[in-house]
Amino acid sequence: MNQIEIIEPASIIDTKGAPVNLGWARKPVFSYNPAFTWTPQRFTSSSDRYVIFSKSFMFVYEIYDGGYLGFIHVTAVSLIDKHIASRVILIPFPLGDLSLPNTSVANSIRLRHEKTILDFIALEQGSRIVKVDIQQVGHNRNLRGEVVLIEPVKAQSIYTNSMYLGENKRFQFLRCSPWWSVEGVMQYENMEMAFNRGKAWGIFYWSRITRPLKDVHYWAAGCGLWDGQELSFNIGYGTVDNSYGTENAFFVNGKMHKLELVTFQASPSGWLKPWKFTSNNFRLEMTFYPVQQYSRKNHVFYQLYQVRQVYGFFSGRVTLDDNTIAQFDRISGIIERRETKS
């Protein structure tokens, strides 16, 4: 598979809104100017998401602007007793009013909606802060707290610029950084959950998309320890043409090891049974052991948003770029299937 790595600064679309410079990158070389898009706003979506977790707890925070349908979403999961609590605050017809930035580098967001506070703050030295205060999560309980995400030295991310099959004006622009160390505290009602550096991690997943009438995307990511080092990954596929570059990569202490195609295989017995993952060139063999799942469906007029997430642990082996074999066991992570119709 001849993937194209983009190493020089490049726009993801031309002045007529057509995708250009298709491929992948390990640094923030892509730029995006939405003023050049000719797609109606109901076909555009922007999402900023952080997943924060340890061996015991996992939190998913997302701000989403899908044109006609927007939302603030938080899910809290106990990976020990399988308890799950969530809150979705729908925001009809945001149409860009959530002010999600066009860059994933300096992308601070301070969102206030009714009594909800959700801040994603990018600091100058590369760290991030996630601050949350949301009421009525789960059984009308409050979730509040603040964590700091610390970036590894000289860390790389996986960036992809892809075009939808048969669509000359529809594209998918993604970034995933699955390697943050996390420090801080989250408080759910009377329970405090501490996150300590070296024992807690974060995933930053960012997307800017102009969608076709129907879009389906599978995604998985995780982070943990292997041989005293931080091992993390991002893998995914969907209805885009990924022949120029996939979003599949493993990271050791923030350094990327690029993969080609990866196949997701859920158990015929259900999503809470083990999943299998393999790569086209046999570099990856991985099993996912689910603990809990979450799903929902939202409609606004013509627009449908449907998501299903599964939380648990990944074990397996991956061959790195230098032919080292990383054998890892029970690193925490997430799988998602997301579908939109416009």
For residue 342, pLDDT beyond 90: no
pLDDT tier at 24, thresholds 50, 70, 90: very high
CA distances from 176 to 160, 193, 302 (A): 9, 25, 29
For residue 9, pLDDT beyond 90: yes
Residue 237: what residue type?
Y
Helices (H) and strands (E) in the chain, counts: 0, 25
Element (H, E) at 59: strand 57-65
Residue 299: what residue type?
H
User: In order of start, what are the domains of the chain with their CATH numbers?
Assistant: 24-341 (2.40.370.10)
Element (H, E) at 202: strand 200-210
pLDDT at position 190 is: 83
Element (H, E) at 210: strand 200-210
- pLDDT, one tens digit per residue, over 117-130 is 999 999 988 899 99
Whether 43 contacts 170, CB under 8 Å: yes
Average pLDDT of the chain is 94
